[in-house]
């Protein structure tokens, strides 16, 4: 049976991606806009504006799903706490439903990226899988017995807050910990590692970029590593080492068939993923040390595609 078109919105700490998805796991219409620095009211208005724009492009879309970088109360659609956006305590689902006039389903963005990879991507066919999205922060999703696991109220699977260095960097936002994987291997953390490496090694390519512009970021780190800068490569591998330590714990706890790594920081490729995979092979217990660690197949679109699938599933359930 032909599937109806559904709108998917993936709200991140720096950008919002909205698309219309039909029967295939790809968007027939999509657009990205910035989201950094928006107030609570502005975030809701931005989401409503883009969802309505998608409806104008595809009037047949009958429902919407939205992935939010926050702990979520699954039953009420309330955003409880977010490290990267000002949406704490915001009833996102109810406010959006009023503004767009179609059913809106809300879930954590990591959960929805996990759903997409389980339905269509690197975890397709698996009954047990994990996903970490490496972006501005680090989100997570758990696929357990063929379903998304959310915990008691829906706020579970915050995999980015596994501590890998108790004396490490302070975790941003409302997290009270230090050394969470989010603070050690996210896109934001890679930017910090780039600055530290540039300051420590002024004769490196990173150091020259810092001297010329007064700043370097994760994109500079990637470019310098691709150009053969050993200092940049070493900084990326350090982040991969911390990421791998988290994966060891996750593999030991859940024994998934596959751990999927997605998000924008996956642009670093095997320079980041390779060291993480090696950590699992060396330090996870047998047989968890054989857990596959794969790069997400759906790329940056996973969250949006998963949001659309979730919106359709929730509308059909209701």
Q: What is the CA radius of gyration of the chain?
A: 19
The model's pTM: 0.90
User: Are the beta carbons of 48 and 9 closer than 8 angstroms?
Assistant: no
Q: 290 Cβ partners below 8 Å, 6+ apart?
A: 281
Domain coordinates in residue numbering, the chain: 6-109+300-317, 124-296
User: What is the tens place of the pLDDT at every residue in 103-158?
Assistant: 999 999 999 999 999 999 999 999 999 999 998 899 899 999 999 999 998 888 99
pLDDT at 1 over 50: no
Q: Do domains 6-109+300-317 and 124-296 have the same CATH topology?
A: yes
d(CA 127, CA 112): 16
pLDDT-derived band of residue 3, with 50, 70 and 90 as boundaries? low
Find tokens 């409880």 and name the residue: 80
User: What is the tens place of the pLDDT at every residue in 262-285?
Assistant: 988 999 999 999 999 999 999 999
d(CA 263, CA 298): 10
pLDDT at 39 over 90: no
At 153, list the tokens: 């109220």
Domain formed by 124-296, architecture: 2-Layer Sandwich (3.30)
Q: State residue 271 phi and psi, 5-degree precision.
A: -65, -30
Q: Which CATH superfamily is domain 6-109+300-317 in?
A: ATPase, nucleotide binding domain (3.30.420.40)
């Amino acid at each position: 049976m032909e599937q109806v078109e559904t709108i998917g919105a993936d709200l991140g700490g720096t950008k919002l991606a909205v698309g219309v998805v039909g029967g295939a796991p790809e968007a027939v219409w999509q657009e990205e806009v910035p989201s950094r620095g928006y107030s609570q009211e502005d975030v809701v208005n931005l989401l409503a504006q883009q969802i309505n724009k998608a409806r104008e492009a595809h009037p047949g879309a009958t429902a919407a799903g939205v992935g939010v970088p926050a702990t979520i109360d699954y039953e009420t659609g309330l955003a409880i706490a977010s490290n990267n956006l000002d949406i704490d305590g915001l009833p996102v689902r109810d406010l959006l439903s009023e503004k767009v006039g179609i059913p809106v389903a809300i879930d954590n963005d990591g959960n929805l990226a996990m759903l997409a990879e389980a339905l269509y991507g690197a975890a397709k066919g698996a009954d047990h899988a994990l996903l970490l999205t490496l972006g501005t922060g680090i989100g997570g999703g758990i696929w357990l017995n063929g379903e998304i696991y959310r915990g008691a109220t829906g706020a579970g699977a915050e995999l980015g807050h596994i501590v890998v260095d108790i004396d490490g960097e302070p975790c941003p936002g409302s997290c009270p910990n230090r050394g969470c994987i989010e603070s050690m291997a996210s896109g934001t953390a890679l930017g910090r590692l780039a600055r530290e490496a540039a300051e420590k090694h002024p004769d490196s390519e990173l150091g020259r970029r810092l001297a010329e512009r007064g700043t370097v970021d994760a994109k500079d780190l990637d470019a310098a590593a691709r150009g053969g800068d050993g200092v940049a490569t070493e900084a990326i591998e350090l982040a991969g080492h911390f990421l791998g330590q988290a994966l060891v714990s996750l593999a030991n706890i859940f024994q998934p068939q596959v751990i999927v790594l997605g998000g924008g920081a996956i642009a670093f490729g095997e320079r980041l993923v390779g060291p993480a995979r090696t950590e699992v092979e060396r330090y996870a217990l047998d047989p968890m040390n054989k857990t596959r660690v794969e790069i997400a197949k759906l790329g940056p679109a996973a969250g949006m595609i998963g949001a659309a699938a979730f919106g359709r599933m929730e509308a059909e359930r209701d």
